[in-house]
Amino acid sequence: MAKKFIGKRIRRIEDPRLLTGQALFVDDVEIPGMLHAAFVRSDYAHAHLKSIDVSAARERPGVVAIFTAEDMGDDWEPGPPLVSPPPTVKDVLFNSRTQVPLVKDKVRHAGEAIAVVIAESRYIAEDAVEDIYVDLEPLEAVVDLKKALKPESVLVHDDLDSNLAAHLVQEKGDYAAAREQADLIVKRRIVIDRGAAAAMENRGIVAHWEPKSQHLTVWDTTQAPIPIRNGLAARLGLSEYQVRVVAPFVGGGFGPKMMMFYAEEMVIPWLSLKLARPIKWIEDRRENFYVTTQEREQIHEAEMALTNDGRILGISDIFLHDSGAYDPYGLTIPLNTQCHAMGSYDVPNFYSDVKVVFTNKMITTPIRGAGRPQGIYLVERLLDLAAKELGINPVEIRRRNYIPPDAFPYDHEIIDQAFAPLIFDSGNYKPALEKAADMIGYDQFVKEEGPCLRAEGRHVGIGIVSFVETTGVGPYEGARVTVEASGKVNVATGVGTQGQGHFTSFAQVVAEQLGVEVSDVHLVTGDTAEFHWGTGTFASRGAVVAGNAIHASAMAVRGKVLKLASEVLEAPEDELEIENGMVRVADIPRLSISLGELAVLANPLRGAVEPGTEPGLEATAYFGPRYGGTAFGTHAMILEVDVETMMVEIKKYVVVEDCGTMLNPLILEGQIHGGVAMGIGNAYYEKLFYDENGQLLNASLADYLIPTATEVPRVDVGHEETKSPLNPLGAKGVGEAGTIPVPALFAQALENALPEYDLEILETPLSPNRLFELLYDK
């Protein structure tokens, strides 16, 4: 049956509130009597905390309280590990060291919170922070990943023997044997540096403990309100029903807002209980640079073994991954890197050894892409270099190596970030490649346009790379769908929303089943008082996992609607249809009843019901996939380099994306555009510069360059639709797809644009300065 709502370009129902300044963000929460917090933070990356003198600050009018680690007493304890190490791989080493609410003895990264001031206003709280004297004895900072693992290195955690946080080896086939048979080995060191998620809204939290009702309400810019509620209840000794966590409109997530139990998330609710007052803390941009989690830093010693005709025999990758000062997020990022280091290709032999390293830098946790861009960078770069050596064109070498469409489900024989087997559920990679090559005009550029422009002295290059994106991982999400007496439908789900259009795309899923208009579906997300089972919005899983839970709930409600209508209309269920909010007998349209009337009948206020009757037209359902679906696609671009300034201009950018069933192509394309923009930042503008003392040198938006409308090109998006067999909607995630392949694409296109320089790009992020160095400082 043709879909009426799913797959349609429906404009968003949440927009009017956002467009008129009427949407609630955390910083908009105002409560009478609310106090404001500001944190005293370490100027050093690594230091012993000798003493703190808060006496002057206490004297300042308007200061209500100051707390240090010592003042927290027995309530001081490090945060919970958020993700456990993989249980199914033998010989895995994992040293769990989690972040602390306030520094007790030793500072482990610049910006780490040492004390908190609570005052009548944020202005006064910040004044008081300046009054506090902290005596720190600086230590040598652990910054460089390779040096960190040398025996003579100072230690980030003194109770460990080394700065090794974790060690994990994953293997498939026999790489050593494959290497013996290879005609060509391409071996390179690949370096990937740090960037920031830099959501436009900084983090924030408002905690309101009401002593009379013994109830705690927390508004938090989190992607995962339910785990925060559960964790807070456990820490504060409250029942889960005494704690409500609300993630209202959140101004961009991109991963770091998932990292539950930041220091501030532990301290502010605790203080609200302690002081019996509502307390607000809003991160400023400088804090966002220092103490919101970061990602991507890895050093790879990678090699690819190939035959003369460009077929991959195997890949070996020995790499270091920077965990920063603590490792609450386990091995998610390096596992993702391992799982994407084979890209879209049929790689029979694979060896991957990762050492995770503690350093005196901010903690790393997933940022849009989450380890995947690194894996894709590695495999695409090695393949490009092999193609050059073998004289095969980049399109052709990819075509030769793809996992063939009849090989799905394709088992990679390693484990993924959810510790499930890495199985690619479905895919058909060649059509996406060919469509992208066609859209960018690949052959025409290579044969005519490119040589022509080069003859004019211009440095114009083309690139084309493929990627995969594991998405929609478990464990599960749930939803409750209710038809109300008005005939409108209420949906509650646990995931938070940060701009992905959930209010609309989830409404489309419900409208499809219940025959109502999308605008008649009201969605509540991210409020634990409304729905309290689930995990959160991450890993490109919202549409897949929550979407299918909502689909299942709506199907169950549909069943109840038809059953009741069949009794009322005295017609068999299979002769009924639901449209425009009415249930009617297909052949006799005048025999009908509205959903609202049925909802009233399903909830009688007088009289007797059959024993066992459940009231209302309501259902709750859950969805948990055995493993996640894998989306894929190809990006291509033409860029021009100005060799005087090393600025690049992207002349054309093409994405062909296949994420299974599309719920709303308008929203989907928006996700792709935004992902590509972030990828462009990752590739050519955005790098966090830490010096040898662990100081971040560019902690402002004036110094850390996020692409603006003049750096980001128009992106042409083409769609393919290979459904996932793993869920009823056939959907896969798309949230991170735009970002993942961009650095690899930049590298290929830059090399292509600058043939006379014999350039080999083995690092990301680049920048105009860095490209200049690569060209002239050889």
Partner 1 sequence: MRNVFDIAVTVNGTRYDRTVEPRLLLSDFLRRDLDLTGTHIGCEHGVCGACTILFDGQPARSCLMFAVQANGHEILTVEGLGTIDELHPIQEAFREAHGVQCGFCTPGILTTLVPFLEENPNPDEQDIREAISGNICRCTGYQHIVDAVKIAAEKMSASAVD
Contacts of residue 406, defined as CB under 8 A and 6 or more positions apart, other chains included, come to none
**Contact in structure between 320 and 147 (CB atoms under 8 Å):** no
The span of 55-63, 293-301, 396-404, 667-675 binding partner 1 (CB under 8 A) equals 667-675
Site for partner 1 contains 712 (CB under 8 A): yes
Contacts of residue 720, defined as CB under 8 A and 6 or more positions apart, other chains included, come to 428, 431, 432, 435, 633, 656, 657, 658
Q: How far is the CB of 655 from partner 1 (least distance, A)?
A: 11
Q: Contacting partner 1 (CB under 8 A), which of 95, 298, 401, 498?
A: 498
Amino acid residing at 130: E
Site for partner 1 contains 4 (CB under 8 A): no
Q: Specify the residue, 41 or 560, whose C-beta has the smaller distance to partner 1.
A: 41
For residue 461, the surrounding DSSP H or E stretch is: strand 459-470
Buried b (16+ CB within 10 A) or exposed e, 560-569: bbbebbbeeb
The span of 199-207, 301-309, 387-395, 477-485 binding partner 1 (CB under 8 A) equals 199-207
Q: Specify the residue, 278 or 501, whose C-beta has the smaller distance to partner 1.
A: 501
SS3 353: strand
Q: Specify the residue, 76 or 684, whose C-beta has the smaller distance to partner 1.
A: 684
Concatenated DSSP letters of 622-690: EE--SS--EEEEEEEEEEEE-TTT--EEEEEEEEEEE-BS-S-HHHHHHHHHHHHHHHHHHHHT----B
Site for partner 1 contains 635 (CB under 8 A): no
Q: How far is the CB of 326 from partner 1 (least distance, A)?
A: 26
The span of 46-54, 168-176, 492-500, 746-754 binding partner 1 (CB under 8 A) equals 492-500
Q: How far is the CB of 535 from partner 1 (least distance, A)?
A: 20
738/669 Cα distance (integer angstroms): 9
Concatenated DSSP letters of 5-43: STT--PPPSSHHHHHTT-S-BGGG---TT-EEEEEEE-S
Q: Contacting partner 1 (CB under 8 A), which of 248, 366, 674, 743?
A: 674
Site for partner 1 contains 356 (CB under 8 A): no
The span of 197-205, 306-314, 325-333, 466-474 binding partner 1 (CB under 8 A) equals 197-205
**Contact in structure between 715 and 531 (CB atoms under 8 Å):** no
HSE-up of residue 477 (Cα within 13 Å, Cβ side)? 29
Nearest Cα residue to 226 out of 201, 204, 247: 247
The span of 17-25, 328-336, 463-471, 769-777 binding partner 1 (CB under 8 A) equals 17-25
Q: Specify the residue, 326 or 746, whose C-beta has the smaller distance to partner 1.
A: 746
Within 10 Å of residue 22's Cβ, how many Cβ atoms?
Answer: 9
Amino acid residing at 464: I
Q: Specify the residue, 20 or 239, whose C-beta has the smaller distance to partner 1.
A: 20
The span of 233-241, 578-586, 641-649, 695-703 binding partner 1 (CB under 8 A) equals 695-703
Q: Specify the residue, 618 or 669, whose C-beta has the smaller distance to partner 1.
A: 669
Q: Contacting partner 1 (CB under 8 A), which of 212, 590, 714, 778?
A: 714
* Max CA pair span of the chain: 89
Q: Contacting partner 1 (CB under 8 A), which of 249, 290, 402, 424?
A: 249
Site for partner 1 contains 109 (CB under 8 A): no
Q: Specify the residue, 22 or 88, whose C-beta has the smaller distance to partner 1.
A: 22
Site for partner 1 contains 416 (CB under 8 A): no
Residues in the chain: 778
Nearest Cα residue to 222 out of 259, 186, 191: 259
Q: Specify the residue, 22 or 613, whose C-beta has the smaller distance to partner 1.
A: 22
Q: How far is the CB of 273 from partner 1 (least distance, A)?
A: 25
Structure tokens, 395: 């399109």
The span of 193-201, 485-493, 552-560, 585-593 binding partner 1 (CB under 8 A) equals 193-201
Q: Specify the residue, 26 or 383, whose C-beta has the smaller distance to partner 1.
A: 26
**Contact in structure between 345 and 100 (CB atoms under 8 Å):** no
Site for partner 1 contains 12 (CB under 8 A): yes
Q: Specify the residue, 122 or 179, whose C-beta has the smaller distance to partner 1.
A: 122
For residue 775, the surrounding DSSP H or E stretch is: helix 768-776
Q: How far is CA 416 from CA 4, 356, 423, 548, 626, in A?
A: 36, 17, 9, 21, 12
**DSSP 8-state class, residue 404:** P
Q: Contacting partner 1 (CB under 8 A), which of 18, 92, 568, 759?
A: 18
Q: How far is the CB of 666 from partner 1 (least distance, A)?
A: 5
Concatenated DSSP letters of 568-611: HHTS-GGGEEEETTEEEETTEEEEEEEHHHHHHHTS-SSS---T
**Contact in structure between 340 and 468 (CB atoms under 8 Å):** yes
Contacts of residue 417, defined as CB under 8 A and 6 or more positions apart, other chains included, come to 331, 332, 335, 336, 339, 370, 371, 470, 473, 539
Q: How far is the CB of 135 from partner 1 (least distance, A)?
A: 29
Q: Specify the residue, 427 or 738, whose C-beta has the smaller distance to partner 1.
A: 738
Concatenated DSSP letters of 507-541: HHHHHHHH---GGGEEEEESBTTT------S-TT-
SS3 267: helix
Strands 588-594 and 582-585, sheet pairing: antiparallel
Site for partner 1 contains 200 (CB under 8 A): yes
Q: How far is the CB of 698 from partner 1 (least distance, A)?
A: 12
For residue 125, the surrounding DSSP H or E stretch is: helix 122-131
Q: How far is the CB of 650 from partner 1 (least distance, A)?
A: 12
Site size with partner 1, rule: CB under 8 A? 55
Site for partner 1 contains 765 (CB under 8 A): no
The span of 134-142, 612-620, 625-633, 704-712 binding partner 1 (CB under 8 A) equals 704-712
Q: Contacting partner 1 (CB under 8 A), which of 708, 756, 776, 778?
A: 708
Q: How far is the CB of 697 from partner 1 (least distance, A)?
A: 16
Q: Specify the residue, 62 or 173, whose C-beta has the smaller distance to partner 1.
A: 62
Stretch 123-162: interaction string toward partner 1, x if CB under 8 A: x---------------------------------------
Site for partner 1 contains 673 (CB under 8 A): yes
Site for partner 1 contains 34 (CB under 8 A): no
The span of 225-233, 243-251, 752-760, 765-773 binding partner 1 (CB under 8 A) equals 243-251
Nearest Cα residue to 241 out of 220, 216, 273, 212: 216
Site for partner 1 contains 61 (CB under 8 A): no
Site for partner 1 contains 470 (CB under 8 A): no
Residues 734-753 that bind partner 1 (CB under 8 A): 738
Site for partner 1 contains 517 (CB under 8 A): no
- Helix residue spans in 305-418 (DSSP H): 332-340, 372-390, 394-401
Q: How far is the CB of 392 from partner 1 (least distance, A)?
A: 32
Site for partner 1 contains 678 (CB under 8 A): yes
Structure tokens, 543: 């549409």
Q: How far is CA 218 from CA 222, 267, 526, in A?
A: 11, 12, 12
Q: How far is the CB of 311 from partner 1 (least distance, A)?
A: 36
> What's the start-to-end Cα distance of the chain, in Å?
63
Helices (H) and strands (E) in the chain, counts: 20, 32
Structure tokens, 529: 């008082």
Chain CA centroid to CA 775, Å: 34
Site for partner 1 contains 213 (CB under 8 A): no
Q: Specify the residue, 163 or 202, whose C-beta has the smaller distance to partner 1.
A: 202
Site for partner 1 contains 554 (CB under 8 A): no
Residues that bind partner 1 (CB under 8 A): 11-12, 15-23, 25, 27-28, 30, 123, 198-202, 249-254, 284-285, 498-501, 666-667, 669-670, 672-678, 700-702, 706, 708-710, 712, 714-715, 738
